[in-house]
Amino acid sequence: MSAAVLVAVLVAGGVYLLMQRGLVRVTFGFILLGHAANVLLLSAGGMSRREPPLLGTTDPAVAADPLPQAFALTAIVITFGITVYLLAMAGNGGDDDAPDTDAEPSPGGSTEQGVRA
């Protein structure tokens, strides 16, 4: 239950931040969403069993499922890489999306827009 509430709060915060205009806020939104997905993955392995999953030392009935932990680890690495890229974009291409990208720019006129910006 606590995991469900945590996921709900994280998703709500993440979605709220995604709706913002600045790319830095969007990035923070994705960090929250990534955490929500990770909590979801961990809870998929069962929240009641939390002992370290070591053969021979832990009773398999109470040992945590290591597979979702591996999933979450992979997902964290991917989220981390993309977060860095998002922040780099926010720093490089302007934090805010420029007004002329809102007005359906024509792909053919990309060079002109590059000059205007």
Partner 1 sequence: MSDLVPFLLWLPLLGAALTLAAGERVRLQRVISFTVSALVLAYGITMLTLTSDGSVVVEQVAGWPGGIAIPFAVDTLSALMVTVAAVLVLTSTAFAVFTGDDEDRYFLPLVLVLSGGVYGAFVTADLFNLFVMIEVALIPSYVLITRRGSASEMGAGRIYLTVNLLVSTVLLAGVGLIYGTTGTVNLGELAGAATESVGAALAGGVVLLALGAKAALVPVHSWLPRTYPFASVATTALLSGLLTKIGVYGIFRVYAVMFSGDERLQTPWLVILLITMVVGALGALGESAMRPILVFGMSSQVGYILLGIGFFGELGLQAGIFYLVHHIIAKAALFLACGAVEHEAGTGELSRLGGAARREPLLALAFIAAALSLVGIPPFSGFVAKFSLVRAAAIEGEWIAVTLVVAVSLLTLLTMLKIWNGAFWGEDPDEESRASQQGASGTLPDQTDPMSSPLLRRAKVSITEGPPGGMPRGLILPGLTLAALSLTIGLGADVLLGLAGTAAQGLVDPTAYVSAVTGR
Question: Which positions lie near partner 1, rule CB under 8 A?
Answer: 18, 23, 26, 30, 33-34, 36-37, 40-41, 43-45, 67-68, 71, 74-75, 78, 81-82, 85-86, 89, 92-94, 97-98, 100-101, 105-111, 113-114, 116-117
Q: Encoding tokens for residue 112?
A: 């002109």
| Residue of 77, 81, 48 lying closest to 65 (CA atoms) | 48
Q: Distances in Å between the alpha carbon of 93 and those of 22, 29, 66, 96?
A: 11, 19, 40, 8
Residue 35 burial (CB count, 10 A): 20
